[in-house]
Structure 1
Amino acid sequence: MRSSLARRIELLTVSSFPAAPGSSPITAAAPLSLCARAPQVPADRLVAEMVPPPRFDSVRFDTYVPDPNQPSQSGAVTVLSAFAAGLGGAHLAEGSGPGGKRRWFTRKPQPPAGPRGVYLDGGYGVGKTHLLASLWHATPAAPEKKAFGTFVELTNLVGALGFQQTVETLGGHRLLCIDEFELDDPGDTVLVSSLLSRLVDKGVALAATSNTLPGKLGEGRFAAADFLREIQGLSARFRPLRIDGEDYRHRGLPEAPAPYSDEQVTKAAYATEGASLDDFPGLLGHLASVHPSRYGALTDGVRAVCLTDVTAVPDQSTALRLVVLADRLYDREVPVLASGLPFDRLFSEEMLNGGYRKKYFRAISRLTALARDAKGLVAQ
């Protein structure tokens, strides 16, 4: 059975679509479709892409604009700048001497005492990812000796390479930055605790962002008390750094634009070079068939995402997949134009009050920002 989107497209004459401001003239080519894509991502690409995403290519500490009413924000810049400067020493492999020569009659180096990393805790939209990416850029090491990825991307890397190979791959790094650090199940807790312990023992510095203090990771999502040892072990690796403030994406900005009509979204998709066009329920179904580690590749070459029939997300598994897609779209600065429900009604009250609420609020915040970016795609 054809989708309602396909039937609506038949009713529209492509030649009658006016070009959206700033877009290319309309051609006969149909828009792209995310639902038609099934990307395969080799493991070496996962490693090579562990750098700050395009949105954060050019950020630096001096481009971060602290809220003058929130001194913790400027304080974070000071602490992180010093942390980066402290990573300027040579990183020697275990048992190595100057010049990388093997030292045969030395004691095995002991793991660094105390925290070996910083942990940026705060609400969504206070600039934690900006600061984390700035730390990556400021650390005096070659790009291949620094890694930056989300928590999900890190666990996906372990899945692709295997635990031991991941330790070997990241063990020679100066710094590992982990964005959106969350523990959603016991398996991830044990996995990440073991991985970070091995990396710290090899001299890798850690930095992470999250909306949850390190000692509170896992609360509300699984029986955290049963895994207290692992969680406390993770907490001991980090110095918490609280960052207060309101979501900068809404600071002094107008409300998100209301959803458009199906026809407006469809016309904009045809009028915008590199745009994709999918109906929202169909896209949600397709995401279930694509591993989240491939959601970035799913959007390769897409310059705008156009969605019709946006409806409330039906269940938690689907909602969590949508959160990952929203993160990848936001990282890549891909505007999102939609019809149907506004983005602040995607998730049910039960979801917004549950253990994953911070993920859902982050997704709403980011999709709202991308909806603003898409406003210019619609002919006025």
Structure 2
Amino acid sequence: MSSSTAAPGSSPLTDAGPSSLCAREPYVPAERLVAEMVPPPRFDAVRFSTYLPDPRQVSQSEAVETLEGFSAGLGGAHASGSGRRGFFGFGRAKTPKTPVGPRGVYLDGGYGVGKTHLLASLWHATPAEPSRKAFGTFVELTNLVGALGFQQTVRTLSAHSLLCIDEFELDDPGDTVLVSTLLGKLVEAGVALAATSNTLPGKLGEGRFAAADFLREIQGLSAHFRALRIDGEDYRHRGLPEAPAPFTDEQVTKAAYATEGASLDDFPHLLEHLAKVHPSRYGALTDGVRAVCLTGVQPVPDQSTALRLVVLADRLYDREVPVLAAGLPFDKLFSEEMLNGGYRKKYFRAISRLTALARDAKGLVSS
């Protein structure tokens, strides 16, 4: 793109100027939802060999070894018509009338220990055609059901060897029943499961709704998985300098105009706009955006808004989109009440990821 003439001493401005996320209301057809069930750009090239376990955390190297064995055990024919494999069953087994033992692996641990890296590595290592293995976030999976309908989702995913679910969280009872039923159908069809979460499968929903009332569904979900605990510190900030302090509105605006493909939005208005777009479309919301510039960053007003912001932060991180911000530092976005509540791990993950993206955006501002 050519650039217009700028004032002396300033950065060149792009002809069109920055776009606005608030002006976008993307529509995502069902076929795109299915086609995009692959690891996002940040994790497209990751492999088990590129995961660097912390030598102080034995659970990290053990997780790599376990997952490599799991992926090797998924080679060969799909359960439908050719026999079913048990969890870590490396040979072909006769198809039982009911599933025997867990059919999946569940990566539990704090934010920033590399769970998504490992989940994507499992997807890449599994010896099946890309069209026969699926990778998506929990919210993308539930939206797929909404787009295709339950039965068609079961038929579509039943043809897969592996379903990887990132950021597995249960935020309401409806999702609990829906996902429990869906995964049960997929296990019966011989689909292997893998998931990541910051919460053990038996504790899903705890602190968010009356989980005790849905204990049967939660226990049913837990029965599908063998949990692997991954300990460690947040690798995104291990040994790296402090995140840059927020810039001024003027600096952010100037950088947005000088950066090709940048978007520029007022933070409160963006939060309002997110309520009008389904969270499963937040990835499409950022299509073609090379940097997100935000002015007027301030505390998130309520929990519903905060959870939408978490999903946007995840999609920006997946797509490696830098975030340049003016106003409040990202570690002040969420109230103490939020950080001490049932969604605290989600909020800390969002802070961690936004901070990493802010570090990536620092170079957009001229010295």
Does residue 292 of the first structure (1) align with residue 279 of the second (2)? yes
Deviations 1:344-367 (A, max 9, x none): 000000000011111100000000
- 2:14 is matched with 27
Correspondence for 1:156 among 143, 147, 153: 143
CA distance in 2, matches of 1:14, 1:167: 56
Whether contact under 8 Å (1:18, 1:379) holds in the other structure is no
Whether contact under 8 Å (1:111, 1:203) holds in the other structure is no
CA distance in 2, matches of 1:147, 1:37: 27
CA distance in 1, matches of 2:115, 2:156: 26
Residue type of the alignment partner of 1:144: S
CA distance in 1, matches of 2:54, 2:364: 31
* Partner SS, residue 325 of structure 2: strand
Whether contact under 8 Å (1:14, 1:270) holds in the other structure is no
- 2:106 is matched with 119
Whether contact under 8 Å (1:111, 1:202) holds in the other structure is no
Deviations 1:122-163 (A, max 9, x none): 000000000000000000000000000000110010111111
Whether contact under 8 Å (2:83, 2:95) holds in the other structure is no
Unaligned runs of 5+ in 2: 85-93
* Partner SS, residue 6 of structure 2: helix
CA distance in 1, matches of 2:75, 2:82: 20
Correspondence for 2:218 among 227, 231, 238: 231
Deviations 1:98-125 (A, max 9, x none): xxxxxxxxx9842330000000000000
Residue type of the alignment partner of 2:176: T
Residue type of the alignment partner of 1:88: G
Whether contact under 8 Å (1:167, 1:195) holds in the other structure is yes
- 1:102 is matched with none
Correspondence for 1:203 among 178, 187, 190: 190
Correspondence for 1:329 among 306, 316, 335: 316
User: How many equivalent pairs are there?
Assistant: 355
CA distance in 2, matches of 1:367, 1:164: 37
Deviations 1:61-101 (A, max 9, x none): 0000000000100000000000000000211425899xxxx
- 1:173 is matched with 160
Deviation at 1:228, TM superposition (A): 0.6
Deviation at 1:28, TM superposition (A): 3.0
Deviation at 1:18, TM superposition (A): 5.7
Report the CA distance shift for 1:84/1:279 in structure 2 as closer, same or farther (over 3 A): same
Whether contact under 8 Å (1:60, 1:138) holds in the other structure is yes
Unaligned runs of 5+ in 1: 1-12, 98-106
Residue type of the alignment partner of 1:301: G
CA distance in 2, matches of 1:108, 1:130: 32
Report the CA distance shift for 1:204/1:279 in structure 2 as closer, same or farther (over 3 A): same
CA distance in 2, matches of 1:28, 1:207: 46
Residue type of the alignment partner of 1:221: R
* Partner SS, residue 14 of structure 2: coil
* Partner SS, residue 13 of structure 2: coil
- 2:61 is matched with 74
Q: Work out which structure has the larger RCO, using CA pairs closer than 8 Å and 6 or more positions apart in sequence.
A: 1
- 2:50 is matched with 63
Does residue 358 of the first structure (1) align with residue 345 of the second (2)? yes
When the two chains are superposed, the root-mean-square deviation of aligned CA atoms in Å is 1.7
CA distance in 2, matches of 1:273, 1:52: 26
Whether contact under 8 Å (1:17, 1:270) holds in the other structure is no
- 1:16 is matched with 7
Whether contact under 8 Å (1:18, 1:26) holds in the other structure is no
Whether contact under 8 Å (1:111, 1:200) holds in the other structure is no
- 1:132 is matched with 119
Q: TM-score, normalised by structure 1?
A: 0.91
